[in-house]
Amino acid sequence: MKGKFLLLCCLISLEIFAQNDTTGNAAVSKETNKKKRPDTETAKIFYGQRLINAKTVEVLHKGAMAFTVVHTFGDVAGDNGGTYNFFGLDEVSDAQIGFQIGIAKRLNLVLQHTVGNQKGERGDTSNTNKQIFLVGHFYEAGLKYQFLEQGSNGSPFSLTAYGNVVSSGEKLSKEGDNVLPNHESSFLGSSDRLSEMLQLMLARRFGAVSVQISGTFLHSNLVIPGDEDNLFAVGGAVRLPLTKRVFIISDYFHSFRSSESILTWRNRGNSFDFHDVFGIGVEILTAGHVFHVNFTNARNILENRFLAHTTDSWGEGQFRWGFTLARNFMLFRDKKNK
Residues 330-337: contacts with CB under 8 Å, at least 24 apart: 330/20, 330/22, 330/63, 330/64, 330/65, 331/63, 331/64, 331/65, 331/101, 331/102, 332/63, 333/63, 334/61, 334/62, 334/63, 337/61, 337/62, 337/105
- Are 173 and 135 contacting, i.e. CB atoms less than 8 angstroms apart? no
Q: Measured between alpha carbons, how far is 21 from 24 in angstroms, rounded to an integer?
A: 8
Output the domain CATH number for residue 113.
2.40.160.40
Q: Measured between alpha carbons, how far is 32 from 134 in angstroms, rounded to an integer?
A: 51
In a domain, 322, yes or no: yes
- Are 224 and 24 contacting, i.e. CB atoms less than 8 angstroms apart? no
- Select from 95, 228, 113 the least CA-distant residue to 164: 113
In a domain, 183, yes or no: no
- At residue 187, the pLDDT reads 73
Q: Measured between alpha carbons, how far is 89 from 320 in angstroms, rounded to an integer?
A: 9
In a domain, 228, yes or no: yes
Residue 289: count other Cβ atoms within 10 Å of its Cβ.
16
In a domain, 62, yes or no: yes
- Please state the domain count of the chain: 1
Phi, psi of 234 (to 5 degrees): -130, 140
Per DSSP, what are the bridge partners of residue 113?
Answer: 97, 139
- At residue 185, the pLDDT reads 65
| CB-based contacts of 258, cutoff 8 Å, min separation 6 | 228
Percent helix, strand, coil in the chain, to 5, is: 20, 40, 40
Greatest distance between any 2 Cα atoms in the chain: 70
In a domain, 316, yes or no: yes
Q: Residues in the chain, how many?
A: 338
Q: Measured between alpha carbons, how far is 93 from 319 in angstroms, rounded to an integer?
A: 11
In a domain, 126, yes or no: yes
- Select from 246, 237, 224, 244 the least CA-distant residue to 303: 237
In a domain, 335, yes or no: no
- Select from 318, 315, 317, 310 the least CA-distant residue to 53: 310
- Select from 176, 85, 80 the least CA-distant residue to 121: 80
State which residues form the domain around 224.
2-173+195-330
Report the chain (338 residues): mean pLDDT per 10 consecutive residues. 45 40 40 41 85 96 94 85 80 90 95 79 40 73 96 91 92 57 67 92 95 96 85 97 95 93 75 87 88 93 92 88 91 71
DSSP three-state, residue 40? helix
- Select from 188, 256, 258, 269 the least CA-distant residue to 222: 188
- Are 284 and 321 contacting, i.e. CB atoms less than 8 angstroms apart? no
- At residue 226, the pLDDT reads 82
- At residue 271, the pLDDT reads 61
In a domain, 180, yes or no: no
DSSP tag of 302 = S
Burial 68-98 (b: 16+ CB within 10 A, else e): bbbbbbbbbebebbeeeeebbeebbbbbbbb
Helix, strand counts (H, E) of the chain:
4, 12
